Amino acid sequence: MNVAVLASRATPPATGTTGEGRRTLQLVLRYGVLIGVGLLMLYPLLWMVGAAFKPNREIFDSIGFWPQSPTLEGFVEGWRTGTEHTFGTYLLNTFEIIVPKVIVTVISSVVVAFGFARFRVPGRRVLFALLIATVLLPKSVLLIPQYLMFRELGWLDTFLPLYVPAAFATEGFFVFMIVQFMRSVPLEMEEAAVIDGCNSLQVLLYVVVPVIMPAIISVALFQFMWSMNDFLQPLIYLSSVEKYPVSLALKLAIDVTEATSWNQVLAMSTIAVLPSIVLFYAAQKYFVEGITVGSVKG
Amino acid sequence: MYANRAAGTAYVLPFIFGLAAFTLFPFVASLLLSFSDYQLQDPVSTASFVGVENYGAMFADRTFQKSLGVTFLYVFVTVPLKLAFALFIAWVLNFRLRGIGFFRTAYYLPSILGGSVAIAVVWRYVFAGDGLLNQAFEVFGAAPANWLGEPGYAMFSIVLLRLWQFGSAMVIFLAGLQAIPEDLYEAARLDGASPWRMFTSVTLPLLTPIIFFNFIMQVVQAFQEFNGPYIITGGGPLKSTYLLPLMIYEETFKYFNVGYASALSWFLFVIVALFTAVAFWSSRYWVFYAQERGEGK
Amino acid sequence: MSGKRTRRRPNRAAAGIALALLPLALLPLALLPLALRAADASYATPPPQPVELRMSWWGGNEVHRAQLAAIRRFERRHPHISVRTEYTGWIGHLERLTTQIAGGTAPDLMQINWNWLVLFARDGRGFHDLESLAGTLDLRQFDARALDMGRVGGRLNALPAGMAARLFYFNATTYAKAGLRVPQSWDELMAAGPLFRERLGPDYYPLDLQFMDVTALARSWYVQRTGRSLIDEQAQRLTARVEDMRDMARLYQRMVDEHVIPGARERAAHGYVAPEEMRPWIDGRYAGTYQWNSAIGKSVEKLAPGQKVVLAPYPLQAGARDAGLLYRPAMMFAINRDSAHPHEAALLLDFILNDPQGVRALGVKRAVPVSRRALQVLAADGLLAGLSWDGVRQVATLPNVVRESGYFEHARVRDGFIDIFEELGYGRIDVAEAGVRLHEDVNRILDRVIH
């Protein structure tokens, strides 16, 4: 796939007289490759959705995703779950955890990144090094000490340990990311705003944030998605079944003495994956805008 | 840069508080534990100080040596490939094609699925002895291979898993590409630059902060990869995919050897920190931040 | 600028706040009063204090439903006791339980595995002494051997909810296709290998074993030959000599060479899956399994339709004084040593294990119960049937005296065996070397883990 060809085609089309046929061919080629590779990306999801509609027996028969005897059994039984709550309860729990978590992550990451990127904070180098350092350690080793800590705080069996730390920019990954984006934005716009009399907070909110909006949206997306998949943390902090998020609920039916009804697990996995997909599709629209501030010439 | 240090400190304050309240204790505790013989089934109070015994045992441990080796292999193979993939696809998906939204979502889907059961099952189907890949090989006259059963080949299946899940890196590159102002491309075009020239002179330099970020994060995440080996191969066969995070997990929750696991974790930390430090040091030579550019070119 | 106050030395303030937030750890659930049930019938005797128990277990959907039903019945019987249930699937259960025990927040009543006793109750003081609750908990329903398996250091730490043994189950349909009967002896099993290859093709095997199963099988064979347990807990080593370990390795090698079981490479090509979810088992090509009788149900359920699994007689070597069954509790229940309500927890445990209502709710979904009363109830209901029950009856007929140490199923020990068998299976070492390694490495591990 020729990058140069793509790049040249990306510009607003020359008033299309010459090479119309060629353009169509290029279009077909491009879509062809996109679709082809896209299928490779999509196939496991297709398989999962298809398997959700299969009876349990059929699932391990073949890799074909189209069910031979389609049934809604996976969804119905899976929604009922083997517990006293429906899957809806677990979905609601998940949102109860994730929505605050994403919001506070975005706010704290942007605020703290702004401090790092734009100010000569005393001890900045040390603090930034600490920030990076927190990302480098494998998290499983922190689990037990964190558990003891939250036990002392009395936060066990609540949602607090799952999102309160995120309110304090403890996820260095996101802060680092926003810092990089901020540092790649020219200062001219902000300087102009300051000359106009804005304080730093106003500059942050009205100048910087709109410019790095794709990055901020990425932060929200990633945090949403990773939190949905997070298994170990809810496992050890939440003991009441009615508080389980989806990541725990999905594994409730997987046991060693009982045969697992995979069609149920996959049906509920499909449902669990939908919010992320929808969110991503909605969010990626912001990736089309690009920077609209053209008022500052370099 | 703004002059008001007080305001700056205020902005960074949440992080400092978070550090002190939530991060400091677990970090210090795990570091201390690495110098102890703490076993998970006993109360913490029974742990006793053993100095650097864990670290010493580590280097004599054959399994650790193997695990370290395969982890390095994994990192060195997946990071460059994944970065290249992600950048390329982000470039492709940056255009205003009709329906580009669907493609972007489709290409991001593997990352959304994460460590789901569906991936484990599909991967098995593809890489099993009688799976899709071998069937495709036979069609083309190539000899089938034992992807999951042969120690040399199993790594391939989890490398491919990681490459397949390039969505997050791609999205970040996409955001970075979006941040490059259109008028710069306009100016370059007016100057008569070819598309390739635009890529190397406009896109790449402006993208370097993001490339730098992605590079660091990919290295860190590759060193911390757990899901792939855990669900696809279980670390086998013969420990050929027994990445260090999996070993740490098993030492903690299977063998209850928390002291040793902590030592392993901190050793991993040091390695990754070294890589990161070198990367940061090298960044002054190839990463260009906007304010240091002067005139945007 | 912004109206924020800048703080001097924010670290100190933050540390102060963190310290101020260290309250007494709430015993989260023990004394939360819940709405009292209508138990205020008389004013003469004061109603019993409401108690909230916490109970945890693992299982699949059926077990969850059955257990919840049993608990609701219990709550109706004892209105002042409410039970807070904490359950998961198998994945993650041990991680969570371990974290809870490490943090002192374990539930009052817990389901545990037998091999966790050597982890959590090494000195015998890990869990509540159930014999001290003998007033509430009817221990007379359990035979001496069952009780003994829950004893550590002389104290009864846990009660078995079912016993299990590794037995031979075969796919009768595939054997019929090969024109063979299900093997009745070691020799028949060995002979079936070449016959399968000849009559059905190289894809078909009489038996399938993971390395964990190989270890158990080799042990069984060793016990049959020597009449001893494999591990001597007192001496912290194997009772076997290098020659014995080499014979065990040779047994595995022979089974592979004679096409009785699939080789390591071939087996691993199917991926890292549970044996019952491997396609060759599902479609009948791997025609046998050496499994816990309590877990055979899941293997059967996965089979493609039209196939039948039967329990085979346990192969015994000539002159064997013991069958070498790894007969031990399938799962157990223990009471938290620091539980605030051991008496109520014992009530609940007694209900689940001994009371007809509790027993009926669970049936044989978890395992065939051990309690005599439970067995009577289930027999009367006609629930004692099926492959699992067949296994229970078979065990009763076999010579079964040797008690194996719990350390045989210790994770480190088990992996020690598995790693060496794997290397043998991949041809990295030969039988002689495998014997030496098994002897040396396992002894070293035993020395380290047994205190």
B190-228 pLDDT, tens per residue? 888 887 888 888 888 888 999 999 999 999 999 999 988
In terms of domains, do B4 and B75 share one? no
Rg (CA), chain B: 23
DSSP class of residue B41 equals T
CB neighbourhood size of C381 (10 A): 12
Indicate yes or no: CB of C64 within 8 angstroms of CB of A82: yes
DSSP for C178-213 reads TT-PPP-SHHHHHHHHHHHHHHT-TT-BS-B--HHH
Indicate yes or no: CB of A177 within 8 angstroms of CB of B213: yes
Contacts of A142 in chain B (CB under 8 A): 26-27, 30
Q: Does A121 touch chain C (CB under 8 A)?
A: no
* Residue in B closest to C423 by C-alpha: B238
Burial class of A25 by CB neighbour count within 10 A (0 to 12, 13 to 18, 19+): exposed
Q: Does A148 touch chain B (CB under 8 A)?
A: yes
Cα C35 from chain centre? 37
Residues making up chain A, counted from first to last: 298
Test mutation, A131, A139, A180, chain B, max B CBs within 10 A: A180
DSSP class of residue B98 equals T
Distances (CA, A) of B270 to B36, B65, B273, C116: 19, 16, 5, 34
In terms of domains, do B18 and B112 share one? no
On whether the CB atoms of residues C170 and C299 are closer than 8 A, the answer is no
Tokens at residue C410, please? 């210790």
Indicate yes or no: CB of A140 within 8 angstroms of CB of B252: yes
Q: Does A38 touch chain B (CB under 8 A)?
A: yes
Q: What is the 3-state secondary structure (H, E, C) of chain A?
A: CCHHHHHHHHCCCCCCCCCHHHHHHHHHHHHHHHHHHHHHHHHHHHHHHHHHCCCHHHCCCCCCCCCCCCCCHHHHHHHHCCCCCCHHHHHHHHHHHHHHHHHHHHHHHHHHHHHHHHECCCCHHHHHHHHHHHHHCCHHHHHHHHHHHHHHHCCCCCCHHHHCHHHHCCCHHHHHHHHHHHHCCCCHHHHHHHHCCCCHHHHHHHHHHHHCHHHHHHHHHHHHHHHHHCCHHHHHHCCCHHHCCHHHHCCCCCCCCCCCCHHHHHHHHHHHHHHHHHHHHHHCCHHHHCCCCCCCCC
In terms of domains, do B160 and B114 share one? yes
In terms of domains, do B68 and B115 share one? yes
Residue C274 contacts by C-beta under 8 Å, 6 or more apart in sequence? Answer: A256
Selection from B152, B117, B127 nearest residue B227 by Cα: B117
DSSP class of residue C324 equals -
Residue B140 contacts by C-beta under 8 Å, 6 or more apart in sequence? Answer: none
Chain C, window 16-75: residues with a beta carbon less than 8 angstroms from a chain B beta carbon? 17-18
| Res C5: pLDDT | 47
Indicate yes or no: CB of C270 within 8 angstroms of CB of B127: no
Of C64, C91, C302, the CB nearest to A251: C91
Of A40, A120, A285, the CB nearest to B5: A120
Q: Which residues of chain C have pLDDT under 70?
A: 1-45
Please give the share of chain A, as a percent, with pLDDT higher than 70: 89
Contacts of C17 in chain B (CB under 8 A): 17, 21
Residue C257's Cβ-side half-sphere holds a number of Cα atoms within 13 Å equal to 9
The mean pLDDT value for B289-295 works out to 57
Indicate yes or no: CB of A266 within 8 angstroms of CB of B252: no
Helix and strand numbers (H, E) in chain B are 16, 0
Cα B14 from chain centre? 26
Domain boundaries, chain C: 48-163+329-387, 166-326+410-449
DSSP class of residue C9 equals S
Q: Does C423 touch chain B (CB under 8 A)?
A: yes
| Res C104: pLDDT | 86
Of B13, B209, B244, the CB nearest to A183: B209
On whether the CB atoms of residues C305 and C328 are closer than 8 A, the answer is no
How far apart (Å, rounded) are the C-alpha atoms in residues B169 and B190? 32
Q: Is residue B9 part of a domain?
A: yes
Question: What domains are there in chain A, each with its CATH number?
Answer: 22-71 (no CATH), 83-289 (1.10.3720.10)
Please determine, for residue A2, whether its predicted confidence score (pLDDT) is greater than 70: no
Q: Does A173 touch chain B (CB under 8 A)?
A: yes
In terms of domains, do B24 and B119 share one? no
Indicate yes or no: CB of A119 within 8 angstroms of CB of B1: yes
Burial class of A278 by CB neighbour count within 10 A (0 to 12, 13 to 18, 19+): exposed
* Residue in C closest to B129 by C-alpha: C269
| Res C45: pLDDT | 67
Residue C173 contacts by C-beta under 8 Å, 6 or more apart in sequence? Answer: C284, C306, C307, C308
pLDDT tens for each residue of A13-54: 444 445 677 778 877 887 888 888 888 888 888 888 888 898
* Residue in C closest to B253 by C-alpha: C95
Test mutation, C1, C96, C272, C407, chain B, max B CBs within 10 A: C272
On whether the CB atoms of residues C162 and C149 are closer than 8 A, the answer is no
Which CATH number do you get for residue B206? 1.10.3720.10
How far apart (Å, rounded) are the C-alpha atoms in residues B287 and A95? 39
Domain count, chain B: 2
Indicate yes or no: CB of A134 within 8 angstroms of CB of B97: no
Distances (CA, A) of C268 to B116, B151, B235, C419: 21, 10, 12, 14
On whether the CB atoms of residues C287 and C184 are closer than 8 A, the answer is no
Indicate yes or no: CB of B15 within 8 angstroms of CB of A108: yes
Selection from B69, B281, B31 nearest residue A137 by Cα: B31
Q: Does A18 touch chain C (CB under 8 A)?
A: no
Of C4, C95, C98, the CB nearest to B41: C98
Please determine, for residue B294, whether its predicted confidence score (pLDDT) is greater than 50: no
Selection from A259, A261, A277, A276 nearest residue A75 by Cα: A261
On whether the CB atoms of residues B68 and B240 are closer than 8 A, the answer is no
Please determine, for residue B117, whether its predicted confidence score (pLDDT) is greater than 80: no
How far apart (Å, rounded) are the C-alpha atoms in residues B187 and B297? 9
Please determine, for residue B260, whether its predicted confidence score (pLDDT) is greater than 80: yes
Selection from A68, A88, A110, A143 nearest residue A223 by Cα: A110
* Residue in A closest to C87 by C-alpha: A241
DSSP H or E stretch at residue B163: helix B151-164
Contacts of A52 in chain B (CB under 8 A): none
Indicate yes or no: CB of C265 within 8 angstroms of CB of B41: no
Higher pLDDT, B263 or B2: B263
Q: Is residue B266 part of a domain?
A: yes
Distances (CA, A) of A30 to A38, A236, B93, B103, C101: 12, 48, 11, 12, 58
Q: Does A211 touch chain B (CB under 8 A)?
A: yes
DSSP, collapsed to helix, strand or coil, labels residue C45 as coil
Indicate yes or no: CB of C270 within 8 angstroms of CB of B6: no
Domains C48-163+329-387 and C166-326+410-449 share a fold: yes
Indicate yes or no: CB of A112 within 8 angstroms of CB of B15: yes
Selection from B111, B151, B153, B163 nearest residue B131 by Cα: B153
How far apart (Å, rounded) are the C-alpha atoms in residues A215 and A209? 9
Q: Does A232 touch chain C (CB under 8 A)?
A: yes
How far apart (Å, rounded) are the C-alpha atoms in residues C375 and B8? 72
In terms of domains, do B13 and B122 share one? no
Q: Residue B16 belongs to what domain range? A: 1-28
DSSP, collapsed to helix, strand or coil, labels residue C55 as strand
ω before B237 within 30° of 0 (cis)?
A: yes
Grade residue A219 by pLDDT with cuts at 50, 70 and 90.
Answer: very high
* Residue in C closest to A123 by C-alpha: C9
Kindly give the pairing relationship between strand C109-112 and strand C51-58.
parallel
Q: Is residue B56 part of a domain?
A: no
Q: Does domain C48-163+329-387 have CATH number 3.40.190.10?
A: yes
On whether the CB atoms of residues C422 and C249 are closer than 8 A, the answer is no
Q: Is residue B36 part of a domain?
A: no
Selection from A159, A127, A162 nearest residue A146 by Cα: A162
Residue A91 contacts by C-beta under 8 Å, 6 or more apart in sequence? Answer: A246, A271, A272
Indicate yes or no: CB of A154 within 8 angstroms of CB of C23: yes
On whether the CB atoms of residues C57 and A255 are closer than 8 A, the answer is no
On whether the CB atoms of residues A93 and A77 are closer than 8 A, the answer is no
| Res A32: pLDDT | 84
Q: Does A280 touch chain B (CB under 8 A)?
A: yes
How far apart (Å, rounded) are the C-alpha atoms in residues C277 and C270? 10
Indicate yes or no: CB of C89 within 8 angstroms of CB of A251: yes
| Res A24: pLDDT | 81
Tokens at residue B154, please? 């199993």
Distances (CA, A) of C110 to B39, C85, C97, C128, C372: 21, 10, 9, 11, 22
CB neighbourhood size of C3 (10 A): 6
DSSP class of residue B199 equals I
Q: Which amino acid is at B148?
A: L
Indicate yes or no: CB of C2 within 8 angstroms of CB of B238: no
DSSP class of residue B242 equals -
In terms of domains, do B66 and B168 share one? yes
Contacts of C107 in chain A (CB under 8 A): 239
Please determine, for residue A274, whether its predicted confidence score (pLDDT) is greater than 50: yes
Test mutation, B37, B41, B239, chain C, max C CBs within 10 A: B41
How far apart (Å, rounded) are the C-alpha atoms in residues A253 and A258? 9
| Res C424: pLDDT | 96
Of A10, A173, A297, the CB nearest to B217: A173
Contacts of A173 in chain B (CB under 8 A): 217
Contacts of B209 in chain A (CB under 8 A): 180-181, 183-184
Please determine, for residue A296, whether its predicted confidence score (pLDDT) is greater than 80: no
Tokens at residue C362, please? 């669970």
Q: What is the largest CA-CA distance in chain C?
A: 93
Distances (CA, A) of C368 to A257, B60, C160: 12, 46, 10
How far apart (Å, rounded) are the C-alpha atoms in residues C397 and C353? 24
Q: Is residue B54 part of a domain?
A: no
Chain B: closest CA distance from residue C3 (Å): 9
Q: Does domain C166-326+410-449 have CATH number 3.90.1150.10?
A: no
In terms of domains, do B287 and B167 share one? yes
On whether the CB atoms of residues A174 and A108 are closer than 8 A, the answer is no
On whether the CB atoms of residues C223 and C327 are closer than 8 A, the answer is no
Indicate yes or no: CB of C269 within 8 angstroms of CB of B41: no
Q: Does C92 touch chain B (CB under 8 A)?
A: no
